[in-house]
Structure 1
Amino acid sequence: MSESKSKAEPPPSQKQMPNALKFFFGGLAGICGAIIVQPFDVVKTRMQVSVTSSGKNEFNSSFHCAQTIFASEGVLGLYRGLSAAILRQATYTTTRLGIYTYLNGQYEKTYESKPTVLASMLIGVVAGSIGAMVGTPTEVALIRMQADGRLPPAERRNYTNVFNALSRVIKEEGVASLYRGCFPTTVRAAIVNVSQLASYTQFKMFFNKQLNMPDGFKVQFASSMLSGLLTTLTSMPMDMAKTRIQSMKIVDGKAEYSGSLDVLLKVVRKEGVFAPWKGITPYFLRLGQHTIYTLLFLEQFTRMYYKYVLGDDKRTGL
C-alpha cells in the first residue's frame, strides 16, 4: 500500500505551491517591506505635495523634510498612515505579486522555459493594472493620511486609521472619491511592475546565464537593487501626478487638476523640468528599498515553502 502510494506521489521537484499561497506570500512580503520603509514614504509624499501657492518648495531637501516632521509631529509623524500602508499591501501587493507569480508559473509550465523579455513585460502590465484597481481606495487613504500633517490644524482631515478614512471618504465625498486618481495609479502600477518584476526576472536570468552565477541570495540582492533603481526612475513622474490628484482639495466645486497630464504640465511649468522627480531620494529609499525587501522576502518565503513543506532542496526561490 505504502509502496504504491509513494509511486503515485510526484517527486518534490514536480510539486507546486498552491496558487492561494502565492497570493498570501506576495502580500506578506509587501507588508514586511512597507513597515520598514514607511518613514521614507511619508517624506516622499510630503515632498511631492510641499509647494506653496507661489510655487516655492516648503523643504530644502528630504533631510529637511524629515527633520521638520520629526520636530513638529514626533517619531509617530514619520509613521503616519501605517495602517493604510499595511492594508494597501494586503490588497494591491497581494494581488499584483500573486498574479505575477501565477502567470509566471503558467508560462514556464506551458513553454518549459523562463519568460522572455516581452512576456515578462506583458505579465507585469496585467498584474500591476489589476492590483492597482483593487488597491486604489487604500492608496487614496494612505496619501491623505501621510499629507495631513502639513495642513493647517483647521484644514486637517484627522483620520484616526485607514478604516475611519475609507468610511469618511464614502460618507463625505461619495464612493467614487475612493477611486480618485485611479488612472494614474493604474498607469504607475503598470510601469512599476514592468520595471520592477519584469526587470527582476531578466536581471536574474542575466546573472544566471551570462555571468554563470547560480541563483541565490547574492544574485537575488543584486537583481533587486538594479530593479529598484530602474523602477524609481521610470515611475516617479506618474507617482507625482497620482499623489497630487489624490491629495488635492475641491474648492468651490472646482478641482485643482483635471488629470495626470494637467498635473505634470502645471508642475513642469511652475516648478521646473525636474520637478516630477522631486523627492527622488526618499522615493528611491522608499520604492527602491521596498522593491529589494519585498522581492527578497518573497524569494525566501518561496524557498522555505519548497524546502520545508514540499521537500525540494533544489528550488532557490521564485
Structure 2
Amino acid sequence: LSTDDTEYFPSFDLWDLYNNILYIYRKNGAAPGFGTKTLLGVAAGSVGAFVGTPAEVALIRMTADGRLPVEQRRNYKNVADALIRIVREEGVLKLWRGATPTVGRAMVVNAAQLSTYSQAREMFVGYVPDGITLHFCASMVSGLITTIASMPVDIIKTRIQNAAKGQSQLGVVTSLLKNEGVLSLWKGFLPYYARLGPHTVLTFIFLEQFNAAYFRMT
C-alpha cells in the first residue's frame, strides 16, 4: 500500500479476495469511498464464509463436546470424522447448518474490519507518522469497531451451530433474547476485544510489511 493511497496490488494474505477486488476497482480509475469499501468487504466475507462453513460447524461441535452431558456428546475423533458423520447421520446440508449467520458474521466482520482500517488509515495520514505507528493506530480503530459490530452475530451463530438436533434457528435466537436479554449479545466484550484487537493489529501490520516487501521486489 502506498501512503498516498494511489496504488494497490493483489495481496497474497488472508484478505486476498478483498484486495484483489479493490485492486480491480481502482485499476479502472475509480477512487472507492467508504461505502464502496464496505460493500467490497461484504462480498469478500460472504464468499469465504460460505466455503468455510462445514469446517466451522465441525470445529464448534468438537469444542463444545466436553461441556455436554456424557450421553449427548458426539465424540468426533477429528475434523474428517466429524464431517463424515454429519453427512452420514444428518445429511449433507447439515454441513451448512448456521450458514446464514456464519455468512452474516463474515460480512459484518469483513465490512467493519477491512473498510474501517482502510478509512482510518487514510484519515490518519498527515497526523500520525507513516509506518508501523500509522498501521497500529488504524488497526486499533478497526479492531474496536469490528468487535462492537460482530459480537451479536458471532454469539447467535455459535448458539445455532451448537444447538440440539431439531431445534430451529429462530427458536435458538428467540430463546437467547428471551432468557438472557439483548445485552447478552455483547456478553464477554472485553475478552472478545482482547482476542480480536491484537489479532487485527498484527494482521494489518504484517500485511503492510508484506505489501512493502512486494513493492521493493518489483
Answer whether TM exceeds 0.5 for this pair: yes
Question: Match for residue 111 of structure 2?
Answer: 194
Q: Structure 2: state its 5+ residue gaps.
A: 1-5
**Preserved CA contact (<8 Å) 2:112 2:145:** yes
C-alpha distance in 1 between matches for 2:106 and 2:183: 21
C-alpha distance in 2 between matches for 1:241 and 1:169: 21
Question: Match for residue 313 of structure 1?
Answer: none
TM-score of the superposed pair, with normalisation by structure 1: 0.62
Query: Alpha-carbon deviation of 1:148?
Result: 1.5
Give the one of 104, 122, 139 matched to 2:22: 104
C-alpha distance in 2 between matches for 1:154 and 1:266: 23
**Preserved CA contact (<8 Å) 2:43 2:107:** yes
Alignment of 1:239 with 2:154, yes or no, is: yes
Query: Alpha-carbon deviation of 1:192?
Result: 0.8
Higher relative contact order (CA 8 A, sep 6+): 1
Alignment of 1:220 with 2:170, yes or no, is: no
Question: Match for residue 131 of structure 1?
Answer: 48
Query: Alpha-carbon deviation of 1:214?
Result: 4.6
Give the one of 54, 58, 74 matched to 1:157: 74
Alignment of 1:295 with 2:204, yes or no, is: yes
Question: Match for residue 85 of structure 1?
Answer: none
Query: Alpha-carbon deviation of 1:145?
Result: 1.7
Aligned CA distance change for structure 1 residues 15 and 122 (closer, same or farther; 3 Å)? closer
C-alpha distance in 1 between matches for 2:173 and 2:78: 30
Q: Structure 1: state its 5+ residue gaps.
A: 1-13, 27-96, 311-318
**Preserved CA contact (<8 Å) 2:46 2:103:** yes
**Preserved CA contact (<8 Å) 1:25 1:302:** no
Query: Alpha-carbon deviation of 1:16?
Result: 7.9
Note the alpha carbon deviations across 1:52-102, whole angstroms, 9 max, x for none.
Answer: xxxxxxxxxxxxxxxxxxxxxxxxxxxxxxxxxxxxxxxxxxxxx211000
Alignment of 1:178 with 2:89, yes or no, is: no
C-alpha distance in 2 between matches for 1:187 and 1:288: 20
C-alpha distance in 2 between matches for 1:167 and 1:280: 35
> What is the total number of aligned residue pairs between the two structures?
213
Cα root mean square deviation, aligned: 2.2
Secondary structure of the 1:25 match is coil
Question: Match for residue 3 of structure 2?
Answer: none
Note the alpha carbon deviations across 1:213-270, whole angstroms, 9 max, x for none.
Answer: 35311111111111111111111111111101101121xxx31x333xx433321211
What amino acid is aligned across from residue 305 of structure 1 in structure 2?
A: Y
Note the alpha carbon deviations across 1:246-305, whole angstroms, 9 max, x for none.
Answer: 01121xxx31x333xx43332121112311112223322222332222222222222222
Give the one of 283, 286, 302 matched to 2:192: 283
**Preserved CA contact (<8 Å) 1:237 1:264:** no
C-alpha distance in 1 between matches for 2:83 and 2:201: 29
